[in-house]
Amino acid sequence: MLTPQLVSLLTDQALITIVVVIAVVLVVGTTGLVVARRRRSELPAATKPAVEAPEPKVGEDAEEPRDTPTRTLEDAELPEAETAPAATLEKPESAQGRLVRLRARLARSQGSLGKGLLALLSRDKLDEEAWEDIETTLITADVGVAPTQELVEKLRTRMRVEGVGAAQARDILREELVALVDPSMDRSLKASRKDGQPAVMLMVGVNGTGKTTTVGRLARVLIAEDKHVVLGAADTFRAAAADQLQTWGERVGARTVRGPEGGDPASIAFDAVKEGIAEEADVVLVDTAGRLHTKTGLMDELGKVKRVIEKTAQVDEVLLVIDATTGQNGLTQARVFAEVIDVTGLVLTKLDGTAKGGIVIAVQRELGVPVKLVGLGEGPDDLAPFDAEQFVDALLE
């Protein structure tokens, strides 16, 4: 029979055994789980099944074989070599054609002067008030005070002696205006070779009168006469002046001699003349920078350009370009330039933009130098030799 002490002992041992068994079971289970996980992680990753290539079709379903021949250098299509189109030179208009067209344009733009004078001279009664109106009309047209007084005096005498009919008035006015413009002046351009050297023309004037454009247009006039022309871009102060002149030259086949921007104008002018001699050119046209007539230093430089050129060749023409729309201011400019350099001829530009055609008379009378060229319009051939009689006829049309 079990005593209470034995029962207690057995109970304690059973509890201990149960606890030990449970502990062992837990340890074994945990270890198995860890091992299983480790083994699973070591297995190779599943790979996607390879896509099987489609079986080639046979029989009626078979595709036609593709012909891919090997291309050789001989088979290759090479692009055709691009050739630059030949430059097309323009054919400038002849001097005679210019005169006809410019006369019509001058008649439209300058008609107010001639028609105004005719209207006054055709009055039934030419009293003092009428003659004062005639005098005012002439002075307003920039004819100048002295030429105006001279013209009015001759008109008064002839109108009193020969009558005052409209037909007579027009004939008398035309004759006196032609005499005032002076057709006896030599307006020819010295543009021919002499002593084995080309003629040299120097273009001068203030800023904005259109010197570079005038050089380009004059080149066209000369080339239309079958002259060989070389251009000298001695305007090194105005940006793109040399480019502008070169463009003019390329259009008619005239070569342009140029230098660096801001370079010595006299040096470039000298080089242009040397090139003209080497090429046996007929004419060398030298463009100069525009300068204010009030700037003494720039005006002196102009004289230097001429002196340097003359170490190689004679300067045959010094053409002063005047903007006809400036009126009496243009006359002042002309006076100063004539004091610095020996001006041989005048070029009046923009004559179609003013009703004051009297500047032709005034500037010739002031300098004793003829107007040789006139510009009327913006076109490349809107420059023509000046003709006294055609000028007056245009005023009276």
Structure tokens at 26: 């837990």
Ligand-binding site membership of 211 (annotated):
yes
SS3 41: helix
Question: Is there a contact between 284 and 259 (Cβ–Cβ < 8 Å)?
Answer: no
Residue 83 annotated as lining a ligand binding site: no
327 has binding-site annotation: no
Tokens of 218: 């004059």
238 marked ligand binding residue: no
Measured distance CA(215)–CA(52) in Å, rounded:
84
Residue 205 assigned as binding residue: yes
User: Do residues 355 and 110 touch, judged by C-beta distance below 8 A?
Assistant: yes
Residue 255 parent element (H or E): strand 255-257
Q: Is 126 annotated among the ligand-binding residues?
A: no
Q: 349 labelled as ligand-binding?
A: yes
- Which residues, other chains included, contact 231 with Cβ-Cβ below 8 Å and sequence gap of 6+? 215, 216, 219, 245, 246, 248, 249, 254, 255, 256, 257, 272, 284, 285, 286, 287
Residue 202 three-state SS: strand
Q: Is 210 annotated as a binding residue?
A: yes
Q: Which amino acid is at 255?
A: R
Contact 315, 309 (CB under 8 A): yes
Question: What type of residue is 280?
Answer: E
144 in a labelled binding site: no
Q: Is 125 annotated as ligand-binding?
A: no
Is 118 marked as binding a ligand? Answer: no
Residue 212 annotated as lining a ligand binding site: yes
CA–CA gap between residue 167 and residue 47 (Å, rounded): 118
Task: Confirm or deny that 351 is annotated as ligand binding.
Answer: yes
362 labelled ligand-binding? no
| 306 vs 301: CA distance, rounded Å | 9
* Residue 296, annotated as binding a ligand: no
Q: Looking at the chain, how many residues does it have?
A: 397
Residue 313 in contact with residue 277, Cβ under 8 Å?
yes
Bridge partners, residue 385, by sequence: 373
Residue 344 to residue 339: CA distance in whole angstroms: 12
Residue 311 labeled ligand binder: no
Q: Inter-axis angle of helices 265-278 and 296-309, to 10 degrees?
A: 20
Residue 37 labelled as part of a binding site: no
Annotated binding site for GTP: 205-212, 287-291, 349-352
Annotated binding site: 205-212, 287-291, 349-352
